[in-house]
Structure 1
């Protein structure tokens, strides 16, 4: 008798549910495993709009989804990184780019070479060596050719700004076309056996859905992983005090730029996500320092363009589920945890969770070693992103409000404290292939926050500073010249992947 899984039930739709259905229907093709998704017509998705990271492009490739069609269906624009405004002082700004920054030098990080040149009065800026940052600065964009030989054209990366509601709808249609069964119903009862394995879902329409494995995509409610199996939550609010967000959509007042804008405010930060047909706006804030009314007023004061819906308050608790995979249940999306969207990692974590689950895919023996391996890896993913988000707060140096004064002395996880100590000693960051944020990402945030190490690597003194400076200036000029030959982002969207009027009407009708 075969011991392989024969069925998987996904509870909940939205971005997480339909990403799971689409990826699994692609990855498990030919396995004979039946995939069913149950979603309630009564539960609205959070769907405030999403800013993604480059793994979104990998998700589309793995799922064999045509990029042009997806962008047209979701009114998407391209994203080259995040612009951070006012995080150190009012009027100051920096950029966190995707892709590489500079070329490593004889085994040393490029950052070390650049650091050695900073005493030169004609030294280049750190971001002069990032193709993505230069493209964003000049609002340029084009898709990278897989055959590109030029270093600049090989080393920029990009993601998407997309409408989460339209994205879920598009993925739903693909998943159903690939054989996923969709049941529109609400769960009345979850049946759990004596081993604490989920057996079936009793629905309010009287039907019963049994399955070998269940994926919980029920959002903050976590109906299966928490409600039925009692798996607790590791609260990280002592590290990240923001616990609420207010979101609103507005009309575009200009062509969409190829980056997300994150602006520091008195009790948190606001986002601005430009899509083709509208702009997503929000304010992530700490309720102990700011009331809901104050947050709404702050956000509306920053919004440009006519509002398309009423501001919506979204409470949250930063942290993660104590076990994201337990027995025959996997938590996904908001059911598994929440990290504020400062670095746009929500969809990335959904994708990464699914990829890790497929890597440790169970059979009906449900080997505890596979479950433990998965949980260990995904816990590390969450901790890495947590530390990177904390980095933005603990290094800002702002002290003009009570919130920012708290950030100046905020508690740090040991892992982050050790990373900062190593960086400040001589500009080095420990990094493994499993980590999402590259060393260049760390260097970009730290440089943007005016954090410099006490010294560079001692062996850098063997390099001639004048020759290094000349080489870096030539490299920066080459990047700039290459970028300026690219089309404007808005022109590229209009020519290659403009959203259709049909989708524009869908967009207008969803709020």
Structure 2
């Protein structure tokens, strides 16, 4: 006998997570008979609103819900992103790019990095960045769409976006409400639970409204109103691996270099982000409060802006980790309600997106099968762990010892998976991607090399090319990438030509 289908979904909290969930649910499931989606949010409760940089998977989400890219660019004041530039992470004065896409060309059945490693042994001094079209175009301030069906380096390009998170939420809200999502204004003051099962049955709002539902999606941010508070799901604390627990954020006027790159600059007790948009620059300083006072952290951020501040600094506190179970009973948490990993690799919005995709794949009926719930939780925890490991790599592999913070990071007891990857790469230049993890071999390659992990040798097949042929091929690849990058339009030109630029009037009033 088939269990009854769910027809009433209630989302608690708006912001980016809430409206992404609402839009996706409406697009995928909104036409089911009697299916309703209600989103409860209070204008009196602010959102974090600092997760403005994304990774390429966001393109798939936007296309899935039917967004027009140029309308999206205009409405959210977005710019393109070809990767992240890391400044001062290995040592002061050093920088590298973690680009989207791949490096060079695989040859003779093995990965490109083995030929690059051999080239280094033969005296070639070119950095791995020079073999990435995304890195070279990004540093030159250039952008164009990938051309996957060509032999051009542009076939190797991938991209993402940098946008105003508040505007993105508002943009999605219009789409969701047009698709039938009902928004209710109000602050949740009581959570009613069924006596026998402990399932959430209804929400009581401060204005006296009662909101009943069958499936509840918790997008209430750090409060984790349903999952953490009402259902008391414990928090797995990862702050011993990721000690940064505070941030201060402030937007500023446009200034400095105009590149389609997010920048992360290491500071004495953390790092500073720079996210250039069409109308402003988003800035923030993530730091460990055990190593730096909040007022000093704020002063350091304000002293390193490329323009004039546009608002008072926004102070944030957090703890790295995740809820032990992201799905409990009839509550699924997304975004900050499920966990937090600092935005060093711009994964915050992706974790919302992947949680939505997982929920759609495992969407329950009223029986709430433990099999589906266990699968959801297992995959969610693995994704958090994979991202955590990649973040820890940045902190542990460094030459910096100029502060107590960096000395602590250099001596971290690393998760086993990271140690294995580092040792494998250091010994042989090989990289393996585990369980279809989020970060690809190309990502591990760029960050391990950027953080000073130097391979001792390479795959033996790379020796099948003689020394002259190896150096000539490497030089040719670099030249083609450099020439291709030079021929691309600037990001501003691309946005103007394609209709994605905000109007001059809007720019003046921003």
TM-score (norm 1): 0.96
Match of 1:113 in 2: 115
Between 467-476 and 230-239, the greater mean CA deviation after superposition: 467-476
- Quick one: which of 335, 338, 341 aligns to 1:336? 338
**Aligned 1:288-303 pairs, distance under 5 A:** 288-303=290-305
Match of 2:362 in 1: 360
Residues 502, 18 of structure 1: alpha-carbon distance in 2 compared, 3 angstrom cutoff: farther
Which of 451, 454, 460 aligns to 2:453? It is 451
Tell me which residue corresponds to 1:304: 306
Deviation for aligned residue 1:89: 2.1
Q: CA deviation at 1:48?
A: 2.7
Task: Show the counterpart of 2:393.
Answer: 391
Deviation at 1:464, TM superposition (A): 2.5
Q: Which residue in the other structure is 2:169 paired with?
A: 168
In structure 2, C-alpha distance between the alignment counterparts of 1:128 and 1:464, rounded to whole Å = 22
Q: Residue 249 and residue 446 in structure 1: after superposition, are their counterparts in 2 closer, same or farther (change >3 A)?
A: same
**Preserved CA contact (<8 Å) 2:114 2:458:** yes
Structure 1 portions without partners, runs of 5+: none
What SS does structure 2 have at the residue aligned with 1:362? coil
Q: Is the 8 A contact 2:273 2:284 kept in 1?
A: yes
- Residues 51, 348 of structure 2: 8 Å contact kept: no
**1:179 to 2:183 alignment:** no
Deviates more, 1:187-196 or 1:251-260: 251-260
Deviations 1:266-304 (A, max 9, x none): 101101110011011111000011001110111111012
Contact 1:52 1:161 survives alignment (8 Å): yes
| Contact 1:123/1:473 (8 A) holds in 2 | no
Distance change (3 Å), C-alpha of 1:123 and 1:88: closer
Work out the CA distance in 2 between the residues paired with 1:223 and 1:313. Answer: 21
Distance 2:209 2:467 in 1: 74
Name the CA shift for 1:317/1:278 in 2 (closer, same or farther; >3 Å): same
Q: CA deviation at 1:432?
A: 3.9
Shift of residue 215, structure 1, vs aligned partner: 0.3
Distance 2:126 2:271 in 1: 29
Alignment of 1:71-470 (within 5 A): 71-122=73-124, 124-145=126-147, 148-193=149-194, 194-254=196-256, 256-432=258-434, 434-470=436-472
Name whichever of 252-261 and 230-239 sits farther off: 252-261
In the TM superposition, structure 1's runs of 4+ consecutive aligned residues that sit over 6 Å from their partners are: none
Please state whether the residue corresponding to 1:261 is helix, strand or coil.
strand
Partner residue in 2 for 1:499: 502
For the residue of structure 2 that corresponds to 1:118, the secondary structure is: helix
How far residue 145 of structure 1 moved from its aligned partner, in angstroms, is: 4.5
* Number of residue-to-residue matches in the alignment: 506
Alignment of 1:1-16 (within 5 A): 3-16=4-17
Q: How does 1:39-58 map to 2 (within 5 A)?
A: 39-48=41-50, 50-58=52-60
What's the offset of the Cα at 1:504? Answer: 5.1
Secondary structure, counterpart of 2:16 in structure 1: helix
Cα gap change, 1:229 to 1:120, in 2 (>3 Å): same
| 13-22 vs 415-424, which moves further | 415-424
1:150 to partner: Cα distance: 2.8
Contact 2:139 2:259 in 1 (8 A): no
Which has the higher mean CA deviation after the structures are superposed, 259-268 or 420-429? 420-429
Q: CA RMSD in A?
A: 1.7
**1:362-406 Cα distance to aligned partner (Å, 9 max, x none):** 111111111111111111111111011110010012001111111
Q: Please state whether the residue corresponding to 1:302 is helix, strand or coil.
A: coil
For residues 129-157 of structure 1, the C-alpha deviation after alignment (integer angstroms, 9 at most, x for no partner) is 111011012111012356x4134122101
CA distance in 2, matches of 1:265, 1:48: 19
Distance in 1 (CA, whole Å) between partners of 2:368 and 2:465 is 56
Measure the CA separation in 2 of the matches of 1:181 and 1:272: 36
* CA deviation after TM superposition for structure 1 residue 159, in Å: 0.7
Tell me, in whole angstroms, the C-alpha distance in 2 between the residues paired with 1:294 and 1:284: 12
After superposition, the C-alpha distances for 1:14-72 in whole angstroms (9 at most, x for unaligned) are: 00000001111112142232111111121011113511111111111111101111110
Equivalent position of 1:18 in the other structure = 19
Q: Please, what TM-score do these two structures have when normalized by structure 2?
A: 0.96
CA contact (8 A) 2:30 2:180 kept: no
CA shift digits 1:58-89 (9 cap, x unpaired): 11111110111111011111000011111122
CA separation in 2, counterparts of 1:461 and 1:485? 34
The C-alpha deviation readout for 1:388-431, integer Å capped at 9, x for no partner, is 11100100120011111111111211121122122222111221
CA contact (8 A) 1:142 1:492 kept: yes
